[in-house]
Amino acid sequence: MAAVMRALPTEEATDAAIIEQSLREPETFAAIFDRYYALIHGYAARRLGASLADDVAAETFLIAFDGRTKYELSRPDARPWLYGIASNLISRHHRAEVRQYRALARTGVDEATEGHADRVAVRLDAQAHRGRLAEALAEIPDADRDVLLLVAWAELTSEKAGEALGIPAGTARSRLHRARKRIRAALGRTDPTTTREDR
Amino acid sequence: MDDLTTLRDAWDRPAPPSAAAHAAARAALLERASARGTAPVARRRLRLPRMGVRLAAVGALAVTIAAGVTVVQNLGGTDKNGHPRPVVPGLPGGSVADAQTVLYKAAERAQGRAFTPPRPGQWSYTETRYTSPGNPEIGAVQTPQSPLKTRVDRLWIRSDGRKIAFYRNGRFTISQPITSQTGSMPPDGYAASAALPRDPDALLALVAKKVPHATEAERQDNTFDILGGLLNKNAVLPPQLEATVYRALAKIPDVTLNREAVDVEGRPALAVSRVIEGWLRQEILLDRKTYALLGERSIAVKDHTGKGDDGSWAIKKGTIGVLSVRLAAGIVDKPGQRP
């Protein structure tokens, strides 16, 4: 077993196995970076824009590396842990985040995360939604928004989102519930139909 | 439609991280893992020498261009008669009010200029000569006597910003279609540039949001730099936008004027400048009569030591950072054509 663990992590190795190996061989932790850097960067970029995302994503992995000795090795998937670290870093920028949502609510154009060229293909209905959604996101309390976006954008379950944020599953569920009520209200208020063209 | 799905679909999939950010982040992690580095996290940011800053800020397209230009190794320390090329003399700083007057005048002139917007599928062409000692190597000391290299960039950018063309090693090259850009600033291509706000405050706010900055001074530095880049990078801008750029420049603190400047060709120029990072004067050169953009110039106004992750370099007072001269600019139908 020891011999197997000393081998370089393979595609199939669980995150937990890699992290365990990194306790003895720190450089192994690069495999965690290689798996999830783009994912964490993308999540941060949606919430903060590309330039702050560079810092947040880089720092997430440094903090994760320093904290790997405390990683719960019974959890094979490291994503909730990484998203939790990133969420904490993002919360330091919550004013920038809210500002971005407000700008987006005004213009319907996402200035922060994308080049203009990419938006040519964006459907008008999505843009229409986006302004209203951004407005709601700006108003949702930070703690609730963390859970909501981990579920909607990072695609975690509410239980995993709770794990990521270090809060009980019940708390995560109720925060999600509150946030979704705001989102639904924002969509329902001015949106006569939910019919959309499929991609 | 489920509200969570709507929320997911309403935002575009984020553009992938830039290769530079990825590499810097991975290197920082490996450095930490190899236990060589003990510097605190926040100080681990990659510091580029000033010339590199705009490249870092403007994204992949600019990096492609920088890598692809024809580099003419013309050690330009002397003029064509063999006399040492005079280093740009230290310029007296004019008053801020003067600079604003000139910038407002430039805005007025820009608005009055005849203008035909490029059609979709047309290309913006700029031909620019850069003269510079280059990015300093680790351990290097640059002085006013350091040899200068000259290169001429011939650059075509399609209106939609998705294709560029340039000369590389004397060979004409057209890029593969450029897909996603991480919201580069200045934007790539006429279409994206033309979409910028026409209100000076809105433009300043947008630039500030796009460009990372740690301090207020750095924000102003970067904003000045980026607005200069916006003028320099585009063969044409909508007159109203070009005017907005000048009006936005006028709102940046500590922008001063020198009426007696000359560009590298010896043409008389108005220089609107800001001292960046406390040591490098960055100038935008405008024609004294028409207020058209002539080029840009930067020069160290005091001794400076730069620090990177792996060492430092020194730049002595009076050293030129970069001189750029716009040789030609216009709209053409095909890459490779000149206006």
Are A132 and A190 spatial neighbours (Cβ–Cβ below 8 Å)? yes
Q: How many CB atoms lie under 10 A from the CB of residue B302?
A: 13
Listed by number, the residues of chain B in 171-200 with a beta carbon closer than 8 Å to a beta carbon of chain A are 178-184, 187-189, 191-192, 195
Q: What per-residue confidence (pLDDT) applies to A87? A: 94
Q: Which of these, B196, B296, B288, B184, lies nearest to B238 by C-alpha position?
A: B196
Q: Which residue of B has its CA nearest to A157?
A: B4
Residues of B in contact with A196 (CB under 8 A): 1
Whole-prediction pTM? 0.50
Provide block-wise average pLDDT over 10 residues at a time, chain B (339 residues): 80 80 85 53 29 32 32 32 36 62 94 90 88 75 86 84 72 64 68 92 88 77 86 90 96 88 73 89 89 88 76 84 86 93
CB–CB contact A45 B180 (8 Å):
no
Question: Measuring CA to CA, how many Å separate A169 from each of A2, A157, A160, A163, A183?
Answer: 36, 10, 8, 7, 21
- Minimum-distance CB partner of A114 among B12, B25, B45: B12
pLDDT of B225: 83
How many separate helices (H) and strands (E) can be counted in chain A?
A: 11, 0
Band of the pLDDT at A4, cuts 50, 70, 90? very low
**Distance, CA of A83 to CA of A60 (rounded, Å):** 8
Q: If you average pLDDT over residues A22-42, what whole number do you get?
A: 90
Contacts of A59 (CB under 8 A, 6+ apart): A89, B41, B42
The tokens describing A15, both together, are 């995150």
Per-residue confidence (pLDDT) for residue A22, from 0 to 100: 87
Q: Which residue of A has its CA nearest to B205?
A: A103
Give the per-residue pLDDT at B56: 31
- What's the pLDDT at B184? 62
Q: What are phi and psi of B132, to 5 degrees?
A: -165, 150
CB B148 within 8 A of CB B132: yes
Alpha-carbon radius of gyration of chain A:
19
Q: Which of B1, B2, B3, B46 to mutate to test the interface with A (most CBs of A within 10 A)?
A: B3
Whole-angstrom CA distances from A38 to A75, A97, B271, B300 are 21, 20, 43, 38
Q: What is the pLDDT of residue B103?
A: 95
Say whether A30 and B11 touch across the interface (CB within 8 A): no
Which residues of chain A are within 8 Å of residue B212 when distances are taken between CB atoms?
51-52, 54-55
Domain ranges of chain B: 3-332
DSSP character at residue B257: E
Interchain contact, B30 vs A63, CB within 8 Å: no
Give the best residue of B48, B53, B164, B182 to mutate against chain A (max A CB count within 10 A).
Answer: B182
Residue of chain A with shortest Cα separation from B30: A27
